[in-house]
Structure 1
């Protein structure tokens, strides 16, 4: 079983933050100098009060009239909140409030799901509302590299059992639908599935057990001819 990784395992602990009283110009310089795309905004007590991202700075008066127009083409003068964000020099006026946060024990898959569903690039990690770190998409990618592959018992029979279990649990493909043959560590998948996507998914599931390049995918789609494996796997 693969061990679960948590926010505390992958988060960046040295986080650049900014006060809501600082200027937008200072925030932009901090982002550029440190090659970051967002800043947590914290008050004097270290409490997280918002996030300032590149997106918050895209509709600024300094960028010209086109950048100021809303989705319907209206100008910020017609919307006081947009006017403030476009013209104020205080970070506290421009930042996004109500930031999505997680605790240090949040699992990496939960954080990745949050990033997908909320279309965000970073998630602050807080403890009693105080910043202890931040998880970015880059941290998630590094977690992919750090993740250790699952280990299975050696031997053809053990590999076969592991592949069958994976096909059943992940794809609801039972032994009656797919025949799995293993010889010399090479897996052959035989039988039929209802779609090309399911055929590809079966190969991916098998490779999760024995690794890429060790699977011969002889599955047929729908009611095509029965599988007749070629090669030494019997």
Structure 2
């Protein structure tokens, strides 16, 4: 799945010449936390988010406090705090992707840069926006992989998943009537939980009985509940 499959195409935008008050009103009225900023040619030039407005002069002296040490940082803070032009306050050179970017690439960018949305562009022109909500919709609509049928096929699929994902090859996997039982000993409660998650990736939630025993029971109690 790619950006073009999940992005929002009808996106509210503002101009660098718009006022901060106008942009804030758009965000409040439409219940969104950020706006792409496009010039007259339709090219993306920045993003204005709620975070860009957290150090406004209207919020008082504490909001203006700056901990940076670069000489020009005080002037930059002053501009962002007092200017009424979106172009002065926005985040320039935002993180962007092209339409063929994969969902996992977009999710990784969001996590790395701690951002809530990623504009989708083509030759600098805005095509749409992928938000965290769009990513969550992918998670919501996805289903466990049911590539295995029959007890023996399911057993082999679970064993392969345990080995490929967790490098676990000592767990005894039993399957009866499509229900998987994980048996044996593991070194920690976290490993016990991870084994169950890996098995459920094959069989789905409710299709796994986790009968693994943690060698160190104290570790089991601090790492998670038995299932």
TM-score (norm 2): 0.90
Counterpart Cα distance in 2 of 1:42 and 1:34: 18
Q: Which residue is equivalent to 1:204?
A: 197
Contact 1:192 1:223 in 2 (8 A): no
Q: Could you say what the CA RMSD is over the residues aligned between the two structures, in angstroms?
A: 1.7
Counterpart Cα distance in 2 of 1:70 and 1:204: 44
Stretches of structure 2 lacking an aligned partner (at least 5 in a row):
218-227
Q: Does 1:23 align with 2:19?
A: yes
Counterpart Cα distance in 2 of 1:64 and 1:153: 61
Shift of 1:146: 2.1
Give the number of equivalent residue pairs.
215
1:189-217 CA distance string (max 9 Å, x none): 11222211011000011111111122111
Counterpart Cα distance in 2 of 1:128 and 1:193: 52
Shift of 1:78: 7.6
Contact 2:188 2:216 in 1 (8 A): no
Counterpart Cα distance in 1 of 2:140 and 2:211: 30
1:141-178 CA distance string (max 9 Å, x none): 0111222432223210111011011101111112xx11
Shift of 1:71: 3.5
TM-score (norm 1): 0.88
Contact 2:3 2:130 in 1 (8 A): yes
SS of 1:15's equivalent?
coil
Counterpart Cα distance in 2 of 1:66 and 1:223: 49
Return the match for 1:150 from 145, 149, 157.
145
1:61-210 correspondence runs (5 A): 61-71=57-67, 79-174=74-169, 177-210=170-203
